[in-house]
Structure 1
């Protein structure tokens, strides 16, 4: 590698070198990651597996819980009973209602 007289470079030249170095580093890391993935896939294939076999199926998010409670005056406002209570539930409880009063009739 050649010696560079850093003090002789302008700010613009230094910033250009910095951008080029960041691109080169990102490219290098991407190539290394790709090589590592290929090596792991080859090792798994030698043993008769795929990466999906070894890593398992991707985890799926749990489905959204069905609403259990509804606002007495606005049935569009619902709550599943999980997580924090919505403000309308808190207000109803403070005004003397119970959670049973807010249950969705089935």
Structure 2
């Protein structure tokens, strides 16, 4: 803090705040006495300091969560990334995999009368057209 730029009133306020802080600090017990009192209470309760605060002793650590048993994790899955099936022709960064809620950009096009198939990404559009075609049935003659 650069006190050379403070005016007389600001400097007086700063001195007042510093004196208040000094009085608060003077009332505090030395940290080694507080630690000794805490250790005494911990031992009298039948615990060790490490059991309550961890092995570092660097203060009151948050309690650790109990470990889960080995097995399947309930966390998020780390599956493979799904490729996009649909792309916005106006903005190539807007894509959709076809899973989940339909994005707004696509919904607005559909409201305007466009078809979902209009936005298929090219390689998938070809495979979709091929798979949508009916299988050719063998022709047999009955002559």
TM bracket (short chain): 0.3 to 0.5
* Richer in helix (by share): 1
TM-score computed with the length of structure 1 as normaliser: 0.47
Whichever of the two has the greater Rg, that structure is 2
By relative contact order (CA 8 Å, sep 6+), the higher-ranking structure is 1
TM-score computed with the length of structure 2 as normaliser: 0.36
